[in-house]
Amino acid sequence: MIDKTMNKLEKFNVLKEDKRVNSFVPETRFMAEEHLWELLKKYGAVILKPIEGSGGRGIITVSSEANENEAFRVQVKLIKQVVTSKDLYSYLTREILGDFVSYFSRGRVSQILSETYIVQHQIPLAEIDNRPFDIRVMVQRKNDSPWKVTGKLAKLASLGYALTNINLGATILAIQTALQRSSLKHLSPESILSQLDQLALWAADQLHRQDPNIKVIGFDMCLDTNGKVWILEANFTPHAYIFLELEDKTMYETIQEYK
């Protein structure tokens, strides 16, 4: 049985096994040079994440430069750099390992990256005023009760950032407010909210099969530029305090009741 310490890649692999969920999970591999190039060729944009950890630390985005076949834009927090294709992999290894990279053989570098990082299709997020946003969906259960969605909110990236992490200055918004202000305001909010709930409950059910002891999951979900719902991450120890940022404290109170 896989326990609550599942890393990001293990969680994605578990979700991929569920036919209800797998088409809503971005393609994810362990970090390797061949996987980096395969996903860049297929999607044009990837995101590199530590296999453990949270808060946006160590995350790097890579995307093909428009009209330039041999150049890529790399972003770490607010720092953006254009890197040629021949230098990209070595640039990323230095970014991840720092000065330590010079102490390791190429084979050892590959091993370390494969054990500590994932590379994932970067979903083009819907935006509000040219700033991307994603959605936190809290799902909980009591003992043997069914899973229940107990809270939803939107996290709007700070200006210039590609990431929506709170410690990087993201703004918390009520989900209805975010949808009304977003590039997807022409779509039915009721339909979107229903899809978010259903997908989160399916995903929770699938992860619960691997560990019956799980009682809370904080899903980071998103809408892409076409309005499709995706699961970006599943956190088994999510913080509820971000729901206190909402004017209406009802969801926070509901979340606390389930603890």
What span, in angstroms and rounded, lies between the C-alpha atoms of 230 and 224?
Answer: 8
Lowest-pLDDT range, 118-127, 137-146, 185-194, 225-234? 137-146
Residue found under tokens 């699961």: 231
Reply yes or no on whether the pLDDT at 4 is more than 60.
Answer: no
Reply yes or no on whether the pLDDT at 54 is more than 80.
Answer: no
Confidence of residue 65 (pLDDT cuts 50, 70, 90): confident
What integer is the mean pLDDT of 58-82? 89
| 8 A C-beta contact, residue 87 and residue 73 | no
Share of the chain above pLDDT 90, in %: 85
Phi, psi values for residue 138, rounded to 5°: -95, 130
| pLDDT tens-place string over residues 183-219 | 999 999 999 999 999 999 999 999 999 988 899 999 9
48 Rama class: left (phi>0) / alpha (psi -120 to 50) / beta: beta
| pLDDT tens-place string over residues 87-132 | 999 999 999 999 888 888 889 999 999 999 999 999 999 999 999 9
Give rounded-to-5 percent helix, strand, coil for the chain. 40, 30, 35
**Which stretch of DSSP H or E encloses residue 35?**
helix 33-43
Alpha carbons within 13 angstroms on the beta-carbon side of residue 222 total 23
What span, in angstroms and rounded, lies between the C-alpha atoms of 243 and 253?
Answer: 9
> Residue 82 contacts by C-beta under 8 Å, 6 or more apart in sequence?
65, 71, 72, 73, 74
Domains (range + CATH), the chain: 28-121 (no CATH), 125-257 (3.30.470.20)
What integer is the mean pLDDT of 216-231? 98
Q: Which two tokens stand for residue 24?
A: 């809503």
| pLDDT tens-place string over residues 74-96 | 999 999 999 999 999 999 999 99
Reply yes or no on whether the pLDDT at 168 is more than 70.
Answer: yes
Res 1: pLDDT = 37
| 8 A C-beta contact, residue 2 and residue 9 | no
Reply yes or no on whether the pLDDT at 2 is more than 50.
Answer: no
Asked whether the CA dihedral 48, 50, 55, 59 is positive or negative, the reply is negative
Reply yes or no on whether the pLDDT at 223 is more than 70.
Answer: yes
